[in-house]
Structure 1
Amino acid sequence: MSEPIKDARHYSLANVDAFWDAANPIVLPIAGRPECTLDIHPVNGIITLTTPFTPPEPDVAKWQNISFRVITSDQGDVAELTVMVEDNLHAAYGLVTSIADQVQLRSEPLAAAAATAIAKHRSMFAGKAALSQDKEVGLFGELLVLEYLIGEIGVGPAVESWQGPLNEEHDFVFNDVHLEIKTTSGEQRRHMMHGFTQLVPLRGVPLSLISVQLTRSNHEGGRTLSRIVSQLRAKSGGYRPRVDDALEAWGWKDEDKELYTTFWTKRTKPCAYDVDDRFPAFTLKRLIQVIPNMEFVSDLSYRVDVTQFTNQTLPGPLAGLVNPPEEAP
């Protein structure tokens, strides 16, 4: 039977390797107060530190490979801090034993102990990469449109119309109109455009730019990106796999959902603008006429302010998505 290192609080790394290679779950008590145990579970690839819970919770949402939960039992609340081992067993073991030392030997609250230990072992925990705020806002705007369409034309046609993330078409594609969704959290309808083809009508179908304005709110008046994703997945039924594919193409990751803490709501009702010959779109056809050697330009981004433009209506059941022209701000 393996024994702790003499005059030490924790098992040697050689013994930990042996536990792991045996592939059997094992619980290792750590002497001291408050009570701490390590649950080594090789099959699941995790090590869990368990100790009585005292608020606040450790802030681990922004770290990958580490999670936290509170278990309620007859003996009181128990904290479980779990580390995914992946290919670094010694680092994972070092982290959880370091947290236990901070809690037992220095009487630190678990939240503070975890923060201190993670700072020392942070090479194991690359920060999670949430979407940038611009992309968060952009995805939220497209989901608002998808939500409206599900209510108006049904889940199948709505989800199938959401083409942009998957096929590099315009964002929503219908027989009589294509929609390019642009979302901002600003007070003005200023939107960033990318590339030479984003505002080019395809196959002779009219193109409309849909301007969505968001503003920050609270949990009573708004929703986080994670919440609207969850709600639309629930509404998607058998079309959820397609929704998940589009979310993945956008850069959404379920493991990062805790990072989206901003509550958003619509600042105004969306407006539609025809992308016609009068719209200031930088297209390759236009640019090649005025810029020498345009073929050597590989990318382009520019911002268009449509605040003072005259907004338009949309055909059929899409009309309710946007402000009618007479109500334009």
Structure 2
Amino acid sequence: MTEQSDDARHLSMANVDIIWTSGHPMVLPIAGTPLCKLDLHPVHGTITLLTAFTPPEPDVAKWRNISFSPVNSDDENVGELTVSVEGNVHGAYGLLTSVADQLQLHQQPLAAAVATAIAKHRDLFAGKAGLSAEQEVGLFGELIVLDFLIEKIGAGPAVEAWQGPLSEEHDFVFSDVHLEVKTTSGEHRRHMMHGFTQLVPLRNVPLSVISIQLTRSNHQGGATLGQMVSSVRAKSGGHRPKVDAALEAMGWEDADVGLYNTYWMKRNHPRAFGVDDRFPALTAARLAEVIPNFKAISDLSYRLDLTDFTPSALPEPLADFVTLEEDH
């Protein structure tokens, strides 16, 4: 006979441990309305709450170890809220019984019940970090360039040109030009620069900054970061492994795709700006001339506003990617 907790609704943690260590799956109904059942599955390392629900679905994309999926049912909306135990069976069980209590005792809709329960058990679900907003638009911009190049010169040469974070090269490397891709969602071409070497030409090859401006859109006119990743992967064909390696190095994780719900599109046509003697790049050589004990500076970040700078042209295959016209 199983021992129940003090409120007589749920098993004690001692009995949860017995079930879990047995290794055998067990379904535990929870008395009340709406219908709630807990599926403890030690082999899979999960506990799942199956319950009827009224939309909207709970928003769990930003939480580790928890997922939601609707289940096909002819009679009503049914959903499965699944927690990956990862060594904390008490925490997972406690969270899902809290959700059931909010549903049955407080008559909360599922989305609200999950939010309330997570607030009480927040330590179990450290939020997914994902990419920062700046990193999200930065990766989106590089994928725009890569997508253009794949269409223009083919997957092999395009992927080979994309250096991303995998080397000390610039973002895209060609024999006659190197590119640093900078992307912003702002109304002005203001871009963050990092370090002393980012805007230093290499091997006497001309360097240009590509300025891309994004704006929020919808599913009809734009794409999410996840959709861009999927599209570029599909177009990369046999060159996908290198694309995946670059994505991973930039912080992309497939498990975090639900974090990136914003639809982006280009605000206007990208521009290129040649990094020459007149370009305001903060480099080690320039700074050493004016800053005493310059070597004591270990890091550097600064923002450039290129809105009113005169754009420059790019050689093929990039000539059509940028414009020399004024922004409208």
TM-score tier after normalising by the smaller chain length: over 0.9
Give the Cα–Cα distance (whole angstroms) in 2 for the partners of residues 68 and 308 of structure 1: 48
Q: Is the 8 A contact 1:170 1:180 kept in 2?
A: yes
AA in 1 matched with 2:158: A
Normalised TM-score (structure 1): 0.95
Q: Which residue in the other structure is 1:68 paired with?
A: 68
- Give 3-state SS (helix, strand or coil) of 1:235's partner: helix
- Give 3-state SS (helix, strand or coil) of 1:220's partner: coil
Following TM superposition, by how much is the alpha carbon of 1:310 offset from its aligned partner in structure 2, in angstroms? 2.0
Following TM superposition, by how much is the alpha carbon of 1:92 offset from its aligned partner in structure 2, in angstroms? 0.6
AA in 2 matched with 1:31: A
Q: Which residue in the other structure is 1:153 paired with?
A: 153
- Tell me the alpha carbon deviations over residues 80-134 of structure 1, each in whole angstroms, 9 at most, x when there is no partner: 0001111111011011111112212222211221111111111111111132211
Give the Cα–Cα distance (whole angstroms) in 2 for the partners of residues 252 and 246 of structure 1: 9
AA in 1 matched with 2:25: P
AA in 1 matched with 2:40: I
Following TM superposition, by how much is the alpha carbon of 1:75 offset from its aligned partner in structure 2, in angstroms? 3.9
Following TM superposition, by how much is the alpha carbon of 1:7 offset from its aligned partner in structure 2, in angstroms? 6.9
Q: Which residue in the other structure is 2:287 paired with?
A: 287
AA in 1 matched with 2:42: P
Give the Cα–Cα distance (whole angstroms) in 2 for the partners of residues 319 and 6 of structure 1: 72
- Give 3-state SS (helix, strand or coil) of 1:49's partner: strand
Taking the TM superposition and a 5 Å limit, the aligned residue runs for 1:19-30 are 19-30=19-30
Q: Is the 8 A contact 2:50 2:79 kept in 1?
A: yes
Q: Is the 8 A contact 1:310 1:328 kept in 2?
A: no
Q: Which residue in the other structure is 1:221 paired with?
A: 221
Give the Cα–Cα distance (whole angstroms) in 1 for the partners of residues 42 and 24 of structure 2: 7
AA in 1 matched with 2:39: D
Give the Cα–Cα distance (whole angstroms) in 1 for the partners of residues 237 and 287 of structure 2: 44
Aligned residues: 327
Give the Cα–Cα distance (whole angstroms) in 1 for the partners of residues 7 and 179 of structure 2: 70
Following TM superposition, by how much is the alpha carbon of 1:295 offset from its aligned partner in structure 2, in angstroms? 0.8
Q: Which residue in the other structure is 2:132 paired with?
A: 132
Taking the TM superposition and a 5 Å limit, the aligned residue runs for 1:266-285 are 266-285=266-285
- Tell me the alpha carbon deviations over residues 137-192 of structure 1, each in whole angstroms, 9 at most, x when there is no partner: 11111110011011001111111111022113100011111110011122222211
Taking the TM superposition and a 5 Å limit, the aligned residue runs for 1:88-107 are 88-107=88-107
Give the Cα–Cα distance (whole angstroms) in 2 for the partners of residues 94 and 106 of structure 1: 17
Following TM superposition, by how much is the alpha carbon of 1:37 offset from its aligned partner in structure 2, in angstroms? 0.7
Give the Cα–Cα distance (whole angstroms) in 1 for the partners of residues 137 and 201 of structure 2: 24
Gaps of 5+ in 1: none
Taking the TM superposition and a 5 Å limit, the aligned residue runs for 1:162-311 are 162-311=162-311
AA in 2 matched with 1:26: M
Following TM superposition, by how much is the alpha carbon of 1:74 offset from its aligned partner in structure 2, in angstroms? 3.1
- Tell me the alpha carbon deviations over residues 23-70 of structure 1, each in whole angstroms, 9 at most, x when there is no partner: 122111112222111111111111000011221211212211111110
AA in 2 matched with 1:48: T
Q: Is the 8 A contact 1:65 1:83 kept in 2?
A: yes
AA in 2 matched with 1:151: E
- Give 3-state SS (helix, strand or coil) of 1:63's partner: coil
AA in 2 matched with 1:36: C
Give the Cα–Cα distance (whole angstroms) in 1 for the partners of residues 107 and 267 of structure 2: 48
- Give 3-state SS (helix, strand or coil) of 2:313's partner: coil
Give the Cα–Cα distance (whole angstroms) in 2 for the partners of residues 147 and 199 of structure 1: 24
- Give 3-state SS (helix, strand or coil) of 1:164's partner: coil
Q: Is the 8 A contact 2:53 2:109 kept in 1?
A: no
Query: Percent of pairs identical after alignment?
Result: 68
Gaps of 5+ in 2: none
Normalised TM-score (structure 2): 0.95
Following TM superposition, by how much is the alpha carbon of 1:5 offset from its aligned partner in structure 2, in angstroms? 5.5
Q: Which residue in the other structure is 1:120 paired with?
A: 120
Query: What is the RMSD computed on CA atoms of the aligned residues?
Result: 1.6
